[in-house]
């Protein structure tokens, strides 16, 4: 079977080329053809020797993902649904904003963490994506957008990558790291470490590993100021409770390319959005001594969750409370609403082989009624 060259970082490609009896600089040329020029046909690669092109044609391929659908929103957001075989599909979203283009990538088909408010979590886990499948999302988006937007040679469509699509990237560590290296490599996509963000629900040991192996910007999905509530919203919290998670965040900062951790906080009506909970959050991060920013995400509702989005005034009041305590806080704009492209809406067509959604719906969650709110 042909080897998928999108699976390799530059080191991996050099080893593969070595196996074909080729020098390292050939691997660099090949890597640049694939990632910088978007080539997938070896015959096109005019500065590679014919003998090498022939060898590659037999032994290797640049394996693209099958596109099931593509939707462009009026605000410039583009969402792709890709087929990853066996009935599974994943989503990728491009979000243009003044001066930058952010691509949100998936790391798994489904997710095993099973967060209460996440439609991917409700679908259960199907499988890990390969490095090649993670990189193929970027390859496809970058080269297609470059052509579509009529960008000049050297101009990039994707300036930032966030691992915030489907899946828990730190539960697919072995595939994640080579994919990150392709994004960062100057011969690949040349993104700076500050412009590549891994978002995690809190896989503590892997936060330490990514710090050691390939530090990039880190976003941690917090969602609750105390263990009891976080256990209910993010079941992984039972394994790695808040003190351990925050200690890992603090350790991460020693090697991080940015001097803060971004805490994501999905605003759920009557669940985690009270002023008292904002104060508890301030205490939590202060006690841990973690330099941080907060990103409040208005919940994207879906019927099976049984949850609703916090009203805008409550989100703004919550943000204000954090700001007043000196914590930089942003409220995520909802983008691409007309094509369901917001984070957490990346449902794909993953088959729920584990009946995760069904199990989750049987666990009640406490919603504070307006009259009882503090």
Q: Which residues bind ligand SAH (CB under 6 A)?
A: 117-119, 164, 168, 199-201, 221, 264, 266, 297, 299-300, 343-344
183 binds, among ligand SAH, ligand SF4, none (CB under 5 to 8 A by kind): none
141 binds, among ligand SAH, ligand SF4, none (CB under 5 to 8 A by kind): none
With tokens 């020029």, the residue in question is 37
Cβ distance to ligand SAH smaller for residue 29 or 300: 300
114 binds, among ligand SAH, ligand SF4, none (CB under 5 to 8 A by kind): ligand SF4
Cβ distance to ligand SF4 smaller for residue 106 or 130: 106
Distances (CA, A) of 340 to 71, 140, 301: 9, 20, 11
Decide the pairing of beta strands 3-4 and 89-97.
unpaired
The interaxial angle of helices 275-288 and 312-324, nearest 10 deg, is 40
| Smallest separation, CB 202 to ligand SF4 (Å) | 9
| Smallest separation, CB 261 to ligand SF4 (Å) | 16
| Smallest separation, CB 343 to ligand SAH (Å) | 4
Cβ distance to ligand SAH smaller for residue 28 or 302: 302
DSSP 261: E
264 binds, among ligand SAH, ligand SF4, none (CB under 5 to 8 A by kind): ligand SAH
Cβ distance to ligand SF4 smaller for residue 78 or 113: 113
Q: What is the total residue count of the chain?
A: 374
91 annotated active-site: yes
Burial class (CB in 10 A: 0-12, 13-18, 19+), 196: buried
Distance CA 125, CA 354 (A): 7
343 annotated active-site: yes
| Smallest separation, CB 294 to ligand SAH (Å) | 12
Structure tokens at 73: 């929103």
Q: Are 197 and 219 contacting, i.e. CB atoms less than 8 angstroms apart?
A: yes
Active site residue: 22, 91, 168, 264, which one? 91
Distance CA 15, CA 170 (A): 26
| Smallest separation, CB 237 to ligand SAH (Å) | 12
* Rg of the chain on CA atoms, in Å: 21
Report the catalytic residues. 91, 343
């Amino acid at each position: 079977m042909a080897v998928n060259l999108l699976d390799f970082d530059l080191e991996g490609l050099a080893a593969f080329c070595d196996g074909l009896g080729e020098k390292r600089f050939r691997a660099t040329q090949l890597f640049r053809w694939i990632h910088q020029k978007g080539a997938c046909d070896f015959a096109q690669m005019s500065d590679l020797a014919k003998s090498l092109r022939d060898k590659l044609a037999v032994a290797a391929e640049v394996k693209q993902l099958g596109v099931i659908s593509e939707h462009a929103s009026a605000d410039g957001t583009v969402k792709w649904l890709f087929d990853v075989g066996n009935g599974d599909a994943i989503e990728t979203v491009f979000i243009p904003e003044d001066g930058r283009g952010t691509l949100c990538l998936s790391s798994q088909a489904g997710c095993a963490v099973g967060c209460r408010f996440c439609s991917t979590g409700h679908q259960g886990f199907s499988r890990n994506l390969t490095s090649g499948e993670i990189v193929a999302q970027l390859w496809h988006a970058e080269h297609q957008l470059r052509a579509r937007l009529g960008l000049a040679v050297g101009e990039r469509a994707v300036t930032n990558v966030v691992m915030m699509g489907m899946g828990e990237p730190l539960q697919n560590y072995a595939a994640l790291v080579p994919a990150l290296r392709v994004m960062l490599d100057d011969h690949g996509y040349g993104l700076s470490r500050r412009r590549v963000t891994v978002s995690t629900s809190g896989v503590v040991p892997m936060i330490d590993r990514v710090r050691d192996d390939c530090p990039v910007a880190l976003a941690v999905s917090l969602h609750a100021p105390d263990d009891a509530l976080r256990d209910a919203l993010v079941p992984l919290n039972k394994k790695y409770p808040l003190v351990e998670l925050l200690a890992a965040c603090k350790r991460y900062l020693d090697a991080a390319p940015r001097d803060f951790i971004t805490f994501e906080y999905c605003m759920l009506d009557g669940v985690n959005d009270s002023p008292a909970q904002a104060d508890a959050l301030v205490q939590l991060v202060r006690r841990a001594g973690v330099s941080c920013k907060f990103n409040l995400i208005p919940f994207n509702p879906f019927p099976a969750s049984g949850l609703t989005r916090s009203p805008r005034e409550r989100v703004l009041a919550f943000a204000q409370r954090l700001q007043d305590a000196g914590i930089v806080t942003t409220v995520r704009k909802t983008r691409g609403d007309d094509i369901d492209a917001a984070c957490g809406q990346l449902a794909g067509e993953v088959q729920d082989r584990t009946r995760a959604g069904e199990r989750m719906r049987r666990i009640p969650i406490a919603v504070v009624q307006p009259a009882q709110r503090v």
